Amino acid sequence: MLSIDLSGKRAFVAGVADDGGFGFAIAKALAEAGASVCVGTWPPALGIFETLLRRGKLDASLQMSDGSKLELERIYPLDAEYDTLADAPDEIRAQKRYRDRGDFSIEGVANRFRDDFGEACLDIVVHSLANGPEVTKPLMETSRAGYLAAHGASAYSMISLAQRLQPLMRDNGALLGLTYLASQGVVSDYGGGMASAKAALEADARMLAFEMGRKWGHRVNLISAGPFASRAATAIGFIHKMIEYYAINAPLPDALRAQEVGHAAAFLCSPLASGITGTVLYVDKGYHAMAVPADVEGLIDTLKGS
């Protein structure tokens, strides 16, 4: 039987703070395939995440298909806006949720991996990070600071992860990120520079695929997922409208499940995808293939009700 086997592999999933998003689903899928999994969590959310885990509030989500429980090998504090601790402003480092976490920068995570596992300790790096402080603003109302912040947190952070974690990656490693269709066309409510940040992420992934492939044999791919009502996405405010829109127009009308993104990620990070790099894989029920709405009347009714 052909199966995804990641036994003996170690993965780092950057951007897991609860059990409701794509990052968690990817972490679980990688573990189901046999990998040991470490995650990086934004410091302001880390305390709550640790408490939920400790009190068993996430036990149902952590249950694996064989009846065992997903055990995260490490949970590292990570604020991917900062390449080094010195880059973080004093007021950030002094905040209660940061000051006792040690080095929460990307370089800090790399150093913790070295301390915990030594050199050549990583096989898979997953970038499940995005933030746009002005995402609810139209582009015409977006400030320079908001625009650059979106690009730094959502696009450059993948480059920084690659720079600092590549020296720890074993042969034939895999780097994976998450993008969104707004990189290719207009999603009117996805503002604040986030659409162009995703476009930059896709261009950067292609370049990283070339550079990391030629130098070290690593593969770099992205998943473009359809709308999903994670906690982060729900905070943006228009996600439920997008889910309904996809249901009307996508070839597969059922709602996207996070597990489906997780399974695709496990495949792309496995030896089964050894010939795939520099690719954007759409996991969106086929919506990206549609040129015009499939149900114009339904679309009009949806827009009237929004």
Residue 235: burial class (beta carbons within 10 Å; 0-12, 13-18, 19+): exposed
pLDDT band, residue 89 (cuts 50/70/90): very high
Q: Is the pLDDT confidence value at 215 over 60?
A: yes
Q: What is the pLDDT of residue 285?
A: 94
Select which of 76, 147, 180, 245 is catalytic.
180
DSSP-based three-state secondary structure for 82:
coil
What predicted TM-score, i.e. pTM, was given to this entire model? 0.93
Assigned token pair, 34: 């046999």
Q: Would residue 28 be called left, alpha or beta, if left means φ above 0 and alpha means ψ between -120 and 50 degrees?
A: alpha
104 touches 85 (CB < 8 A): yes
Select which of 147, 190, 245, 246 is catalytic.
190
- Give the rounded percent of residues in the chain with a pLDDT score beyond 90: 84
- Give the rounded percent of residues in the chain with a pLDDT score beyond 70: 93
Q: DSSP states of 238-296 as a string? A: -HHHHHHHHHHHSSS-SPP-HHHHHHHHHHHTSGGGTT--S-EEEESTTGGG-SS-S-H
pLDDT band, residue 292 (cuts 50/70/90): confident
Q: What is the pLDDT of residue 173?
A: 98
How far CA 106 is from CA of 129, 157, 158, in Å, comes to: 12, 8, 10
pLDDT band, residue 252 (cuts 50/70/90): very high
| C-alpha–C-alpha distance, residues 126 and 35, integer Å | 13
260 touches 283 (CB < 8 A): yes
DSSP-based three-state secondary structure for 50:
helix
pLDDT band, residue 238 (cuts 50/70/90): low
| C-alpha–C-alpha distance, residues 252 and 192, integer Å | 30
- pLDDT tens digit string along 5-41? 999 999 999 999 999 999 999 999 999 999 999 999 9
157 touches 44 (CB < 8 A): no
Rounded to the nearest 10 degrees, how much is the dihedral formed by the CA atoms of 23, 25, 29, 30?
10
- pLDDT tens digit string along 142-180? 999 999 999 999 999 999 999 999 999 999 999 999 999
Question: What's the rounded mean pLDDT across residues 55-65?
Answer: 96
Q: What is the CA radius of gyration of the chain?
A: 19
Q: What is the pLDDT of residue 247?
A: 87
Residue 180 known to be catalytic? yes
Residue 282 known to be catalytic? no
DSSP-based three-state secondary structure for 18:
coil
DSSP-based three-state secondary structure for 7:
coil
Q: Report the candidate in 69, 299, 40, 290 with the shortest Cα–Cα distance to residue 181.
A: 290
Domains and CATH numbers, the chain: 10-238+255-290 (3.40.50.720)
- pLDDT tens digit string along 137-150? 999 999 999 999 99
